[in-house]
Amino acid sequence: MAGRRSATATRPPGRPKPLRVRRDDEVIVIAGKDKGKRGRILRTEPKRARVFVEGLNMLKRHTRPTPQGGQGGVIEREGPIHASNVMLIDPDDGRPTRVGVEHEEGKRYRVARRSGKRLD
């Protein structure tokens, strides 16, 4: 195993690994109860490696009325999905693709592996 570097060799411990998907990316779910469904990422939680996809993994929250005028009832909202369970949709052909990273002039660019097209 000579030459292999540990995962913490380039990243300090406790710092999350950067997600390959970002807000407003179109993704498809590849595992879980919503497998095969597509949606747009609403927000990400890099520390927990979770993403919230529009209309997927819906959770029901039962709330009771509050004296300040809050109405009670059942509220549906999106729940988190692990980032490893979603795959980016290639903007060229609409099929799932892996995401690579290219470095140029000190900047980091995401690249669709299927088409080779830059995403940023």
pLDDT at 18: 85
- Residue 108 falls inside a structural domain: no
Domain presence at residue 56: yes
Q: Which domain covers residue 55, as residue numbers?
A: 26-92
Q: Give me the pLDDT at residue 3, please.
A: 57
Residue 81 inside a domain? The answer is yes
CATH of the domain at 40: 2.30.30.30
Confirm whether 66 is domain-assigned: yes
Q: Is residue 109 part of a domain?
A: no
Domain count, the chain: 1
User: Is residue 52 one of the residues assigned to a domain?
Assistant: yes
Q: How confident is residue 59, by pLDDT bands cut at 50, 70 and 90?
A: very high
Rg of the chain over Cα atoms, rounded to whole angstroms, equals 18
84: tokens are 């490893």
Task: Kindly state whether residue 118 falls inside one of the protein's structural domains.
Answer: no
Residue 15 lies in a domain: no
* Interval 3-58: pLDDT, tens: 565 555 577 777 778 889 999 999 999 999 999 999 999 999 999 999 999 999 99
Nearest to residue 60, comparing CAs of 46, 44, 78, 43? 78
Q: Output the pLDDT for position 2.
A: 57
**C-alpha angle 55-57-58 in degrees, rounded to nearest 5:** 65
CA distances to 11, 60, 64, 119 from 102, rounded to whole Å, are: 18, 40, 50, 11
At 65-89, the pLDDT tens digits run 988 878 889 999 999 999 999 999 9
CA distance 13 to 17: 10
Residue 96, pLDDT score: 96
